[in-house]
Amino acid sequence: MTGAAQQTRLVKTEQACGELRAIARAALRSGLVVGALVPRRTSTTVIPALVKDPDRIGDDAYFGAPITPQNAASLLSDVTFRPPKGRVLAVLRSCEHRALIELAKLKQVDLDSILVIGIDCLGAAGPGPAPPHLLDETAWRARMAEGGAEAWEGVRRACGICALPAATTAAFTVGLIDVSPESGVLLSVPDDEDGSRLLAAVAAEEGASVSEPGGEVAAHAAAVAAVAEERGQAKARAIAAWRDDTGNFAALSEALAACTQCLNCRRACPICYCRECVFETALFESTGDRYLSRAARKGAVRLPAEVMLYQLTRLAHMGLSCVNCGMCEAYCPAGIELTMLFAVMGQEARALFAYEPGRDAGEALPLTVYREDELDPR
């Protein structure tokens, strides 16, 4: 985390790619956490699971896996909405940690109940069977070590324009970009009791070693900055292209042509936390005659009738908190490019309030606060 003093070490295990498993076991064994959110590998994907016993973190534990069946922030809301006694460890990529912070502002998660280790990410697949190269941990670590902004085949489209490859919002981080698997991983922890305890516990793990890093820290920082820069440019280009092609009502209604208003996007969205969305209520139930009178007014009425209103309402309700994780698009059975709608419209709206979702848990949601001397009328 920027500002606070950090201590950074190279963690290496005898087992290839075993570092994150060792760190998670160490966190559990040291009592820093009482549970850990563990992505467990299957033949086609990973299943997020909560594990209490460090010895049950086996070789199928695939921390940082480039596969996100769900934004993990949603799962942590389930676990901490009624806070547990003790903390839960979660290894999160940037979009997941930023969503978690937004959910904390919405009072849907308890941050004190979660120890977040932020992890580097160059892109991750969404739901459904993942391609084999993403399930291969060795291949993934080699890809991370390679760095570079190019998105991996099979990852969500949102990842290709994500300019936040490192979860710098977290106090604990694991750096993988440009760090060779032979050297291990870069574990950065705060220079406080928790941080020192974790480092000591990792050093005590069987087969794990902790050492002072050399040039890795600077190399990693430079590689992360390079990815961020290149992805940032890709994002700017994508936004400009969207603005040219889709940034108006007529084109947007074209883009939403296949929408059946199934509400999958809102279910997949980590920010959409309402138990019952207003679009699931009877609010928009109408009578046949009213449909016909709408049809008479415009010559026709599109069915389902509230597709545009639904997307605009989502923008109004959660657009300011959107972390651009792209889960909405990944879950859209109609293949609608929702990522760009939220990236573009959201960015412009957030600029109104100089707000950046997930930047800081202490920041208030823009629509819950006000300043007397702003906007019109006064």
Partner 1 sequence: MSLSTNPEPAMQQAEAAREPRIIAFLCKWCTYTGADLAGTSRLQYAPNVRIILVMCSGAVDPLYVMKPLLEGVDGVLVGGCHAGDCHYVNGNYKARRRIALVRNYLEGLGLEQDRVWFRFISASEGRVFADTINEMTESLRKLGPNPLAEEWTV
Positions that interact with partner 1 (CB under 8 A)? 247-250, 252-254, 257, 278, 287, 289-290, 292-294, 296-302, 308-309, 312-313, 315-317, 319-320, 344-345, 348-349, 352-353, 366-368, 370-372, 374-378
CB 375 within 8 A of CB 352: no
> Is the CB of 79 or the CB of 343 nearer to partner 1?
343
Q: Shortest approach of partner 1 to residue 71 CB, angstroms?
A: 24
Q: Shortest approach of partner 1 to residue 313 CB, angstroms?
A: 5
CB 227 within 8 A of CB 148: yes
Q: Shortest approach of partner 1 to residue 27 CB, angstroms?
A: 41
Q: For 114-137, give one letter per residue: b (16+ CB within 10 A) or e.
A: bbbbbbbbbbbbbbeebeeebbeb
> Is the CB of 81 or the CB of 353 nearer to partner 1?
353
> Is the CB of 47 or the CB of 292 nearer to partner 1?
292
> Is the CB of 267 or the CB of 350 nearer to partner 1?
350
Tokens of 356: 């950046």
Q: Shortest approach of partner 1 to residue 229 CB, angstroms?
A: 26
> Is the CB of 76 or the CB of 328 nearer to partner 1?
328
**Residue 328 to residue 265: CA distance in whole angstroms:** 4
CB 44 within 8 A of CB 73: no
Locate all alpha helices (DSSP H) within the chain, ordered by sequence: 19-29, 72-80, 94-105, 132-135, 137-146, 193-204, 216-245, 249-255, 264-268, 288-298, 307-318, 327-330, 338-352
Q: What is the C-alpha end-to-end distance of the chain, expressed in Å?
A: 38
